[in-house]
Structure 1
Amino acid sequence: MARATYLLPLFVVLIHLRSLASSTSYGNLTAPSCHPDHAAALLQLKQSFLFDYSTNTLPSWEAATDCCLWEGVGCDSVSGQVTVLDLSGRGLYSYSLDRALFNLTSLQRLDLSKNDFGGSCIPAAGFERLSVLTHLNLSYSGFYGQIPIVIGKLSSLISLDISSIHYIDGGEIDTLYNVFDSYSLLVLQEPSFETLVSNLTNLRELYLDGVDIASGGEDWARTLGKYVPHLQVLSMAYCRLVGPIHYSMSLLRSIEVINLKLNGISGVVPEFFADFLNLRVLQLSFNNLRGSFPPKIFQLKNLGVLDVSNNEQLSGNVPKFLYGSSLETLNLQDTLFSGVTLSYFVNLTSLTDLGIDGRSIFTEPPYFFINKLNHISTLRLSSINFSWEVGSKFSWIGDLQSLTTLKLSDCYSTKTMPSWIGNLTNLRSLDIRYCDFIGPIPHSIGNLTTLEYLAISDCAFSVQLLSSVGNLRNLRFLQISYDYHGLSGPITPAIGHLNKLAVLILRDCSFSGRIPNTIANMTKLIFLDLSQNDLVGKIQNPTITLYLIICELCIK
């Protein structure tokens, strides 16, 4: 269930300020109070929330008070009718969305995102009453099943967000909803994707991340060009899209954001993408794209994010970038790009997130570039050989004191993991996956005292988990799993020092012995997984309140 608390969007703060100002008398002019029918509808909506499970009780929502001054509510300054309802990130819980909401027929903006509606369906009827709605956000709210056709009838919509996928990337981890990448909770079968958008011709922003649109076949791109030509933001990650990108998509001349990652899109990256002069984000990672990447896309002046990683048949050449490029994120991991010369990135003074594949790197003496890459805060490396002389060519990474995030995947070494990782004392997130390192996790990891997120999975470390891990007292997420050489021996009692942990996953290693009693000191744990080990015992006298325990023996 959702419990996270998020900051109010700026426009809601402005709405409250406007409401306060409008309630002040100026001569004989006084702004009207909230419409009584709308106040009654809001109070009924409040009663539908189970506050035993919610983190916000909406204390300002009280009868006999002006609902235009209530938290998350905005009203028309003349009629007093409710035009805005923004309950985003309030940690509210309910078994379903109460139909009293649909009595607020003057709503223009509705945001219920980041709450929990208990796996219920989005109501099949009711939204058609909100005919003047321009902004609708139901994302990350635990809805399940078919997206109803009535949403496709809201012809005034400018922004629609019904995303149902969420990622942990070292960010906030307060609830079980934040622990996992969500599965596809919502589907578009009938109505189909075409049926949903065919009347939404005013749409400027469309977010459907995680919605299963497999029934759309290969027509999704043609549908976009035909019905929503004024689209500026397109985010359809993990939607099970297939087929090539149809030429009809070239009609989206105002497009600024394209996020199509984690699909099954095939074919080539279209040349016409270089004609999108307003394009700021191009996210095509984890697809089946092939052929040569159009070099003109690199020249787009407004492009800030370019991620084509994990397209193993996609090739291209990285240009020597000139000053003035807006690129902030560039990720070419697990592609066939060649001739990647690190000094080429020196001119990218806005670059903060870089992902490169070791097979494509042309290594240079580090003094050519090392002092000029300190603007990079996130570094993603794959297929790097850290062995002996070869590994020394990458020791410069340990000098990048600007790094806050380091991700290693498919790397290997004939000896242990490089000890220079312990020099990166500003790291907040360290993610190591599918790496083959001989020997133990190095003691130097204990130097990374600012770490909040540490994930080591599908690697080949051996020997026991070192007590130096107990130094990482800012950790909120710790995962060590699927270690196929085996971290032998007991779980170090020092792990109990990590009293900020929300998630602890030590799964499918070769830990043995008793479960340390010190785990009971972790009062903020919401998820614990110690399964697939050879452990005995249980958590003794726990003071922790867990949402979920996955462990054969550690029963409270």
Structure 2
Amino acid sequence: MALTGAVPCMDREQEALLKFKEGFKSASESFSSWTAEEDCCNWRGVGCDNATGHVTILDLHGRDPYNILQAHLVSPSLFDLPYLRYLDLSLNDFQQIPIPELIGSLKYIEYLNLSNANYRGTIPSTLGNLSHLKSLDLSGNGFSLRAENLSWVYGLSSLKVLDLGGVDLSNAEDWLDAVNMLPSLVMLRLFCCKLPKLSQNLHHVNFTSLKFLDLSFNNFSSTIPNWLFDIGHGLVYLNLSRCQLQGVILDALGNLASLISLDLSKNGLKGPIPLTLGLLQEQEFSQLVVLDVAMNCMEGSIKEAHLLKFSSLRVLDLYSNSLALEMSCQIGFSRIMYMNLSFNELKGHVPDFSSQLQFSQLDLTSNNFWSPLPRFSANLRVLFLARNSFFGHISNLCGILSMNNSLTYLDLSSNNLSGEIPDCWKYGYYLVTLNLANNNLSRQIPISMGQLIHLKTLQLENNSLSGEVPLSLKTCTDLTVLDLAKNTLG
């Protein structure tokens, strides 16, 4: 946008932009202001240097699915903008054309985003000429975009962000050595890249500025690499999920003391969760917000006192391991929002969660908990306690179903719960699924269940319910699954 008193757009660069526009199939809203009569510095998506009039910014990223650009070519005129520093053509449709070789001539470019733009072919090695480049995003173009090697990144000495997510790097044997030559790198995303291997050692780790590392959805079939622990204390996000990792989680992972999010889910890791994961030293992992080791082969016991040291934890996912944790009433995650401990070997009493005001989702499905149903916070949205040995009455549910609650999914099936179903469903406005099947519940179905107007699934089968099915259920017009079998209803 040109300001009052600013130098107008250079004629040669305005002509270059108009020629660039001709490479697109339709005159979309993005080009509505692109007219020869108007100073190009006032065109939508164009920014200029006010002192020289040179075009420095071209931002034509797709803003919504109904207003994307479709290009049948990238006009060479684009590269007649020698002072361009910022180029964003993401979220458009370039209809499987290659990224042009001439892109390496934009010698002052600092930000380049061609993500989710339907490019194909080999990434041009001329990108390595862009020594001023700080951010490069080519992600989301699918495996139709590939690189035979990454040796071209050696020339990107200023690079801080490299995102090649979804690019086919199956032949890029040098990928790790290449990115290790980028000392200023802060973010590296190589998720779902068919990376050929994960080297266990580096002679010297250069990319110690790294804060964000995502290598998920690759088939490494290896252990967690040793060089990872030498990156430094700055790493805050680490995602190695779905990488077919094997072996144990080494104690050295505790060196990454600044981690906020750690995702090692869906691998073949085994052994115990190491004590260095914030469990021995108060300062370690005190900042950890997300801990996800779901769907591994982790085993051993976790002491509840250790978990309490994760004072900032908001997401804890230990789903489908063989972990043992005997919970007591001392547990206190003051900020946790999502906890999935299902399909483990957890046992004992479930503590009182009524004071956990941040809790929104709790899943303890398929464990060995044996206790009366505890109290829970009215802030819960999802509560899964199925396939345990909870016993006694379920009157505590009325504490969740208080005014202004947000409970959406409730599953208490396959336990030893008994007594009558409490008549407190008038506040279950948001409830979509209610499953109380396979228990010992008795007496009548409460009339207030008819006030669950958004309910889609109601399962009460295999209990000892009696009496008439209440006519009030007719008001549950969204109900698609209703199972009342194996009761003594009239």
TM-score by length of 2: 0.69
1:402 and 1:426 in contact (8 A); partners too: no
For the pair 1:74 / 2:47, whether they are aligned, the reply is yes
Aligned length: 412
Which residue of 216, 221, 231 maps to 2:176? 221
In the alignment, structure 2 segments of 5+ residues that lack a partner are 368-384, 416-420, 439-448, 458-474, 482-490
Equivalent residue, structure 1, for 2:145: 187
Instruction: Write the letter of the residue equivalent to 1:330.
Output: L
Identity %: 25
The 1:334/1:327 distance shift into structure 2, 3 A limit, reads same
2:366 and 2:388 in contact (8 A); partners too: no
1:405 and 1:428 in contact (8 A); partners too: no
In the alignment, structure 1 segments of 5+ residues that lack a partner are 1-15, 25-29, 166-183, 455-460, 473-477, 481-491, 497-505, 510-556
1:222 and 1:247 in contact (8 A); partners too: no
Q: Show CA shifts across 1:349-371 (max 9, x none).
A: 332222224632412213x123x
2:311 and 2:334 in contact (8 A); partners too: no
Taking the aligned partners of 1:232 and 1:421, their CA distance within structure 2 comes to 49
Taking the aligned partners of 1:352 and 1:379, their CA distance within structure 2 comes to 8
Taking the aligned partners of 1:378 and 1:292, their CA distance within structure 2 comes to 25
Equivalent residue, structure 2, for 1:322: 282
Equivalent residue, structure 1, for 2:10: 35
Classify the secondary structure of the residue corresponding to 1:330. strand
For the pair 1:123 / 2:99, whether they are aligned, the reply is yes
> CA shift at 1:127, angstroms?
0.9
Which residue of 471, 479, 503 maps to 2:454? 471
Which residue of 313, 317, 334 maps to 1:355? 317
Classify the secondary structure of the residue corresponding to 1:247. coil
Equivalent residue, structure 2, for 1:375: 335
Structure 2 counterparts to residues 56-67 of structure 1, below 5 A: 56-67=29-40
1:213 and 1:240 in contact (8 A); partners too: yes
For the pair 1:331 / 2:292, whether they are aligned, the reply is yes
Equivalent residue, structure 2, for 1:529: none
Structure 2 counterparts to residues 285-434 of structure 1, below 5 A: 285-315=241-271, 316-318=273-275, 319-320=279-280, 322=282, 325-335=286-296, 336=298, 338-357=300-319, 359-366=322-329, 368-370=330-332, 373-384=333-344, 393-394=349-350, 400-404=356-360, 413-414=386-387, 423=400
Taking the aligned partners of 1:208 and 1:279, their CA distance within structure 2 comes to 19
Q: Show CA shifts across 1:430-450 (max 9, x none).
A: 8x9xx99769xx998x94739
Taking the aligned partners of 1:429 and 1:234, their CA distance within structure 2 comes to 37
Q: Show CA shifts across 1:241-281 (max 9, x none).
A: 24333422723222222111111123332344333122121
Q: Show CA shifts across 1:164-219 (max 9, x none).
A: 17xxxxxxxxxxxxxxxxxx34432xx413244243333222111111211224x4
TM-score by length of 1: 0.61
Bigger radius of gyration among the two: 2
Structure 2 counterparts to residues 146-157 of structure 1, below 5 A: 146-157=122-133
Classify the secondary structure of the residue corresponding to 2:205. helix
Equivalent residue, structure 1, for 2:56: 83
Classify the secondary structure of the residue corresponding to 2:246. strand
Classify the secondary structure of the residue corresponding to 1:287. coil
Taking the aligned partners of 2:7 and 2:80, their CA distance within structure 1 comes to 19
For the pair 1:255 / 2:196, whether they are aligned, the reply is no
Taking the aligned partners of 1:82 and 1:299, their CA distance within structure 2 comes to 46
2:134 and 2:160 in contact (8 A); partners too: yes
For the pair 1:207 / 2:163, whether they are aligned, the reply is yes
- Structure 1 stretch displaced more, 324-333 or 155-164: 324-333
> CA shift at 1:32, angstroms?
0.3
The 1:234/1:436 distance shift into structure 2, 3 A limit, reads farther
> CA shift at 1:57, angstroms?
3.9
- Give RMSD over aligned pairs: 4.6
The 1:81/1:271 distance shift into structure 2, 3 A limit, reads same
Equivalent residue, structure 1, for 2:464: none
> CA shift at 1:344, angstroms?
2.6
2:308 and 2:331 in contact (8 A); partners too: yes
> CA shift at 1:82, angstroms?
1.0
Instruction: Write the letter of the residue equivalent to 1:262.
Output: F
The 1:343/1:155 distance shift into structure 2, 3 A limit, reads same
The 1:414/1:293 distance shift into structure 2, 3 A limit, reads closer
For the pair 1:231 / 2:194, whether they are aligned, the reply is no
Name which structure has the greater RCO, CA cutoff 8 Å, separation 6+.
1
> CA shift at 1:229, angstroms?
3.8
Equivalent residue, structure 1, for 2:78: 101
Equivalent residue, structure 1, for 2:430: 449
> CA shift at 1:144, angstroms?
3.6
From the two aligned structures, give the one with the greater helix fraction.
1
